[in-house]
Amino acid sequence: MDSEELRNAGLKVTTPRLKILTLLENSVERHMTAETIYRLLTEGGEVIGLATVYRALAQFEAAGLITRHHFDSGQTVYELERGPHHDHIVCIRCGRVEEFYDKVIEERQREIAASLGFVLSDHALTLYGECNSPECLARKG
């Protein structure tokens, strides 16, 4: 149950938070902007404020329930934290996002940070390219 997740995260269980969390869990699209979440909810007949969406997402992130990414093409996107860490590859033509995990890269990052005297706390790796999927090719011939 979603209420459990919120409680475990130390957050009060409220209607808007449940709506957002449920949406994130049931959406096919795993990477959404705050605006998209707001739009999907209101279009679905729910009443919620945009400010509430931003606030909830910030709290979810602080609680480790979701992760935020800054892809080059614009807004911040949020993603439900499930499963192990991974990075992203984004299609610059159709916007499709795929995930990947690479042990070698993860390891090298730690080594590089250490060799430069840094204590690594996080990293952001995003690849950009063209996926050339059927939908992608259709989009811009």
Partner DNA sequence: ATCTATATTGATAGTCATTCTCATTTGAGA
Partner DNA sequence: TCTCAAATGAGAATGACTATCAATATAGAT
Interface ranges with DNA (CB under 7 A): 7, 11-17, 33-35, 47-52, 54-56, 58, 74-76
- CB 102 → DNA: shortest distance, Å? 27
Residue 35: which of DNA, its own copies, none does it interact with, CB under 5 to 8 A by kind? DNA
Cα separation, 63 vs 56, in Å, equals 10
Neighbouring CB atoms inside 10 A of 24's CB total 22
The answer to the question of residue 128 lying near its own copies (CB under 8 A) is yes
User: Binders of its own copies: how many residues, by CB under 8 A?
Assistant: 32
Residue 118: which of its own copies, DNA, none does it interact with, CB under 5 to 8 A by kind? its own copies
In degrees rounded to 5, what are phi and psi of residue 97?
-120, 125
Cα separation, 133 vs 137, in Å, equals 6
The answer to the question of residue 75 lying near its own copies (CB under 8 A) is no
Residue 50 in contact with residue 38, Cβ under 8 Å?
Answer: yes
For residue 60, the surrounding DSSP H or E stretch is: helix 50-62
- CB 13 → DNA: shortest distance, Å? 4
Neighbouring CB atoms inside 10 A of 36's CB total 17
Query: Of 13-21, 29-37, 45-53, 102-110, which segment contacts its own copies by CB under 8 A?
Result: 102-110
The pairing of beta strand 66-70 with beta strand 76-80 = antiparallel
The answer to the question of residue 72 lying near its own copies (CB under 8 A) is yes
Interacting residues toward its own copies by CB under 8 A: 70, 72, 89, 91-92, 98, 100, 102, 104-105, 108-109, 112-113, 116-133
